[in-house]
Chain A
């Protein structure tokens, strides 16, 4: 196999990996904070993509401009979902918690199908188009922009969580919510914030993906699945782990696709299985 082809796969794998990481970190943040998995995470992504689509179609807003809009809208959605559903099932049995978010996902997907049909949509005429020629290496500009923006968002989140006082409060709550309460930190507010920020991440990712991927009600499924794997691979609740695992998955997917196009996700899952067999807590996990 020619080196250029392999390099090409590595490059596109890296680019997609950054977006996977951003999707995964939203999931990881929520889980690390309160041990609840958001099974509607993929549907949140789908909603962000559809929002981008409709904003472009109805108001001519470019997907890049919808990044902040989607971020804000999804933040609000996350807060509403926490207040409306999650805060009521905090002490419920785990099965109830799973069904609550799983059911929300089914509901959102079906609602999208009902209102917008199952058709594939593409955002019309966006500003970022074409390919970047990097010495014989061709990278789609939308993908390049998406990965850079995803990395920026990721870095901002990392600094927020590790350097700001609210970030410290989030970390303290995720370690020991009772001890955090004794410091004056309301776990309810931190959970609400966690859902807002976790959803904001997937909102940014959705707007960026809408730049170059078709949009349909089931679009979130694959991304959510890869995000669950990234979270488990990187270690539940670990921010750095989500980044590393997201990029690894992007690379394995792209390189696996070279050798075995129709089974490229098999490579991803096999890698995941190997890691959890050897290191069940994930690469950077603490459990």
Chain B
């Protein structure tokens, strides 16, 4: 469904990704784990068009999308839930969801999608008229995921959805990803919460300083020496 081939990305000439290649098949949850600054967010930003690769290619459903502007990538079926949530704080919960559906104009589809999101995160139903900036961290993350889902993506990319959220809510949010997958979406998850992410994922990649150093199923990676030593401190 999504494939990156030898992608190189740099910020102002400083390279951040050195020839990253990986694939995601439809219906999978794939996670990219790695420490701060390894380039995890850079991968997502490159797929969603916020960054342009210097070399290599990004293909989505056989179509080359590197170089396509960010505001057009959503319409192709990729939603990016960015790090730090980046909600529109002065808009209400409902308005944030509406903006999320900017590329999906049909009112019927929109209200059906909203209902699905309220089923997934019931608390948002009670918060509909509240300004997004007044929600708790966990609620904001749920809204950010919901806002991404409103575009009805076939590929949902999430950047650190557990960052700064109470541990109890982290489980809820990660559990919701399993439900989103069951409803037919493909998920690319970037996480520092290595254990939970690898337990949830079908497959995973370990990223270190802009290179993929290890790949395998979630269970394989959890058993690997590299992951156990570098990320689990065992």
Interface residues of A (CB under 8 A from B): 165, 168-169, 171-172, 175-176, 178-187, 286
Q: Is the CB of B69 within 8 A of A172?
A: no
B226 contacts partner chain A, Cβ-Cβ < 8 Å? no
Known: A179-B82, A181-B50. A171 touches B90 (CB 8 A): yes
Question: Is B176 in contact with chain A by the CB < 8 A criterion?
Answer: no
User: Which residue of A172, A178, A187, A286 contacts B99 across the interface (Cβ within 8 Å)?
Assistant: A172
CB-based contact A171/B69 at 8 Å: no
Residue interface mask B100-127, A partner, CB < 8 A = 1 = 1011000000000000000000000000
B71-108 interface bits toward A, Cβ cutoff 8 Å, 1 = contact, 0 = none: 11011000110100011111100010011101100000
> Does B99 lie within 8 Å of A180, measured CB to CB?
yes
Name the prevailing secondary structure of the A interface residues: helix
| A184-B71, A184-B103 known; A175 vs B151 contact (CB < 8 Å) | no
State whether A182 touches B50 (Cβ < 8 A): yes
- 10 smallest beta-carbon distances between A and B, as pairs: A184-B103, A179-B86, A184-B74, A181-B70, A184-B102, A186-B71, A181-B71, A172-B88, A175-B88, A183-B102
Beta-carbon contact of A171 and B71 below 8 Å: no
A180 to chain B, nearest CB (A): 7
Instruction: Give the chain B neighbours of A176 by CB distance below 8 A.
Output: 86, 88
Distance, CA A7 to CA B164, complexed state (A)? 57
- Nearest CB on A from B150, distance (A): 8
**Which B residues are in CB contact (< 8 Å) with A186?**
69, 71
Interface string of B48-63 (1 = CB under 8 A from A): 1110000000000000
Chain A to chain B contacts (Cβ below 8 Å), 16 pairs: A168-B98, A168-B99, A175-B89, A175-B91, A179-B87, A180-B88, A181-B50, A181-B70, A181-B71, A183-B74, A184-B74, A184-B103, A184-B151, A185-B99, A186-B69, A286-B90
CB distance from A146 to the nearest CB of B (A): 31
Contact of A178 among B86, B89, B103, B151 (CB under 8 A): B86
| Distance, CA A171 to CA B71, complexed state (A) | 16
Q: How far is the CB of B62 from chain A (nearest CB, A)?
A: 21
With A168-B95, A179-B82 already in contact, the answer to whether A185 and B88 are too (CB < 8 A) is no
Q: Which of B74, B80, B99, B147 is most buried by chain A, counting CB atoms within 10 A of its CB?
A: B99
